[in-house]
Amino acid sequence: MDRATFLKSMAALAAAGAMPVARAQPGVNLKVLIPASPGGGWDMTGRALGQAMLDAKQAATVTYTNVGGAAGVLGMGPFIARDKGDATQIMVMGAVMLGGLIASRWPMNLMRGTPLMRLTTEYNVFVLSPNSPFKTMGDVIAQFKKDPESVQWGGGSSGSTEHIAAAMIARAVGVNPARVNYVASSGGGEAAADVLEGRVTIGGSGLSEVVEHLRSGRMKAVAVTSGQRLAMIKDIPTLKEQGIDVEISNWRGLFGKRDLMPAQRQALIDALLAATQSPSWQQTLEKNGWTSAVLAGDEFGKFVESEFVSLRRIMETAGMVVVPIPWQQ
């Protein structure tokens, strides 16, 4: 949908009394909530998507707000609760948020918001500082088996894909997942700093969040969580290649405010689809090693619900979530 058609459809809705006039042009002044600290995958996604919206002429201005903490849950709560029906606001989210909601047992239901679109998938990479006494993933695992608490696993918030991967690795190598010494951070930028400054033994992060550190030699990759090696770092073995039967991916997407009207939602989805087809977004995918995984509307909503079930099962198996006994359910 071009910008003129987009604006005409919104104006028609306003004239018919279907939406407040002040919110009749969601494509003009877009507000993007990034529920994480600057520098991480969600931050990179939100800002790149905003630029793509501008380049595709689906927005005149884009503003960004970072609210980090608790796997995005701290930002999600107010986003879902306030300004219902406002189609000028979107929130970046993904698998990490679902894991955080499951781990924290947060009472607010994400699905009260409006599922808009899945954008990308990405695998995680485990990295060491160049000054680390360990040289390989095998070295880390040997120490982990010997003294689990002595190995500090760094990554995003509690319940993030890095946290889940660490727990899955523990189970795969015969260590009680409850003994994983996980150091949570509010976002990829902080997680990278923990590795660089030696506050953790090993760090987990999306490839896009650490690729520049790998290229500069400030970090050393020792494993990826994909089923096959990644093209951008094809010399780094998978966990499975190293005898650790673990594979897990991360995905990122967008939600809108609660109670969007069908026409508002569709107009916003059309604008986002146009942005994902822009040259700037395609360049972002290539630069960061992200895989396009566009899924929109109701199909995305069904995917999120199925991911809740799947992630809960994984986290229960890994010992991260206590399965309630019958009388507690």
Predicted confidence at residue 323, as pLDDT, reads: 52
In sequence order, which ranges of 56-136 are alpha helices (DSSP H)? 73-81, 95-104
CB 122 within 8 A of CB 58: no
Task: Report the phi/psi class of residue 289: left, alpha or beta, with left for phi > 0 and alpha for psi in -120 to 50.
Answer: left
Predicted confidence at residue 67, as pLDDT, reads: 94
Q: So where are the chain's domains?
A: 3-121+250-317, 123-242
Has residue 318 got a pLDDT over 50?
A: yes
Q: Which CATH number fits domain 123-242: 3.40.50.300, 3.30.300.30, 1.10.240.10, 3.40.190.10?
A: 3.40.190.10
Task: With H, G, I as helix, E, B as strand and everything else as coil, classify residue 147.
Answer: coil
Tens digits of residue pLDDT in 1-23 = 444 444 444 444 444 433 333 33
Give how far the C-alpha of residue 247 lies from the chain's centroid of Cα atoms, to the nearest Å: 17
Q: Which residue has the tokens 């760090």?
A: 203
Task: With H, G, I as helix, E, B as strand and everything else as coil, classify residue 223.
Answer: strand
CB 74 within 8 A of CB 108: no
* Pairing mode, strands 249-256 and 29-34: unpaired
- Residue 79: DSSP 8-state: H
| CA separation for the pair 26, 272 (Å, rounded) | 11
Instruction: Name the average pLDDT for the chain.
Output: 88
Same fold for the pair 3-121+250-317 and 123-242 = yes
Tens digits of residue pLDDT in 86-114 = 999 999 999 999 998 998 887 778 999 99
Return the sign of the alpha-carbon dihedral for residues 269, 22, 9, 84: positive
- Binned at pLDDT 50, 70 and 90, residue 322 comes out as low
* Pairing mode, strands 61-66 and 29-34: parallel
| CA separation for the pair 48, 53 (Å, rounded) | 9
Has residue 187 got a pLDDT over 90?
A: no
Any idea which of 9-18, 69-78, 273-282, 289-298 has the lowest mean pLDDT? 9-18
Has residue 290 got a pLDDT over 70?
A: yes
Residue type at position 216: S
Q: Kindly report the CATH class assigned to 3-121+250-317.
A: alpha beta
| CA separation for the pair 187, 157 (Å, rounded) | 7
What predicted TM-score, i.e. pTM, was given to this entire model?
0.81
Cβ-based neighbours of 244, under 8 Å, separated by 6 or more: 137, 141, 169, 172, 173, 223
Cα dihedral value 197, 235, 231, 42, nearest 10: -10
